[in-house]
Amino acid sequence: MKFDINLFDYDLPDGRIAFYPAEPRDSSKLLILPLNGGVTKHGIFTDLPGFLRSGDLLVLNNSKVFPARLFGRKKGTGGKVEIFLLGKLNNGSWEALVRPGRRLPPGTKIEFFENKLSAILGERTESGGRKVEFKTDSDLMPIIWEYGEIPLPPYIARNAEEEDKSRYQTIYAENVGAVAAPTAGFHFTDRLFKEIDELGARTAFLTLHPGLGTFRPITASDINLHKMHQEKYSIPVETANAVNLAKSEGRRIIAVGTTTVRALESSIGPDGTVEPADWRATDLFIKPPHKFKVINGLLTNFHLPKSTLLLMISALAGRERVLAAYEEAVKKEYRFYSYGDAMLII
């Protein structure tokens, strides 16, 4: 089925992109979009338990963002260099985006943080990044956490602040490796998790590390020509068992975030059950008319026009209804994107 990407566009007025998260986290607005075709409702995130049932299973992504943006200088000339870490390679080196990459040939030495760290630039990777080999007398990650900068999305038009190292995370972030956060989980607080537990709903966790591809727009006019980025995910045995049990008992499975959906929908085995996964790669592109095999609902933020994430929720709730809900959210002054408000599709 052919779809023109322009069918998934919408107008967002200036000033509606959230530059900072709501305080407290669970004070965000919440738009409820019923899957049965009912009218949308509006509340705040603390209302979430009122839309859940005893027996519901919420599946959340516990990926943790690390300060992947490093600023250094070229040895000898002192020229400024930005290293954006994408992930660790099998040989112990890293893949990174390097600026200004064209003027930095392989073998170039970069020094960081008053010479507390240095790196040698290598060849290009298959995905267009560069190999980077770090030189340090101590563990690399503590240095990165102290001196690196959280890679805020490009639409948050401000410099990253030290507080973003904790704000641009869920409170349950555990497994380090992401350069973009699973933002639907930003709204949860310990108080809210306690209410959900007392209600009789349950939680389970998996890990998918969102990458830069999350922010890449679809440039092909026909969405079927878009090449989806690859991400790795891990689903523990206990999470797979919890999902399969809920599914067999007819209980609702509600994904918290599009990354969770992508991991779950990528993990279906031949018998139709969710399989445990140990860092399996997926390039699954969920778009209309995708038939969801696992989830019965989705908690998510508001996504960019013409994005793969907007296509995913359109596959779940229908393009017309999603765009109508977005238009309503604009009129009611919802805050959009990573640090913005939330939508519950259920």
Give per-residue pLDDT as tens, 121-148: 999 998 788 999 998 877 889 999 999 9
Contacts of 220 (CB under 8 A, 6+ apart): 5, 226
Give per-residue pLDDT as tens, 295-325: 999 999 999 999 999 999 999 999 999 999 9
Give per-residue pLDDT as tens, 136-184: 877 889 999 999 999 999 999 999 999 999 999 999 999 999 999 999 9
Report, at the CATH architecture level, how domain 69-147 is classified: Beta Barrel (2.40)
**Rg of the chain taking only CA atoms, in angstroms:** 21
- What is the torsion angle, in degrees rounded to the nearest 10, for the CA atoms of residue 241, residue 243, residue 247 and residue 252? 150
Which residue ranges make up each domain of the chain? Answer: 5-65+166-345, 69-147
Rounded CA gap, 268 and 275, in Å? 6
Give per-residue pLDDT as tens, 250-303: 999 999 999 999 999 999 999 999 999 999 999 999 999 999 999 999 999 999
Q: What local confidence, expressed as pLDDT, does residue 215 receive?
A: 65
Mean pLDDT along residues 175-202:
97
Helix (H) or strand (E) holding 118: strand 117-124
Helix (H) or strand (E) holding 109: strand 109-112
Sign of the Cα torsion 333, 337, 341, 346 reads positive
What value does the mean pLDDT of the chain take? 95
Q: Do domains 5-65+166-345 and 69-147 have the same CATH topology?
A: no
- Categorize the per-residue pLDDT at 229 as very low, low, confident or very high, splitting at 50, 70 and 90: confident
Give per-residue pLDDT as tens, 78-123: 999 999 999 888 778 999 999 998 889 999 999 998 888 999 999 9
Residue 310 DSSP code: H
**Domain 5-65+166-345 is found in CATH 3.20.20.80:** no
Rounded CA gap, 205 and 244, in Å? 14
Q: Does the pLDDT value for residue 3 go beyond 70?
A: yes
Contacts of 19 (CB under 8 A, 6+ apart): 156, 157, 158, 339
> What pairs with residue 97 in β-bridges?
84
Phi, psi values for residue 324, rounded to 5°: -65, -40
User: Do the Cβ atoms of 98 and 109 come closer than 8 Å?
Assistant: no
Token pair, residue 191, equals: 């108080």
Q: What local confidence, expressed as pLDDT, does residue 249 receive?
A: 98
User: Do the Cβ atoms of 346 and 256 come closer than 8 Å?
Assistant: no
Rounded CA gap, 284 and 240, in Å? 19
Q: What is the pTM of this model?
A: 0.94
What's the burial of 335, exposed, middle or buried (CB within 10 Å: 0-12/13-18/19+)?
buried
Token pair, residue 119, equals: 């790196």
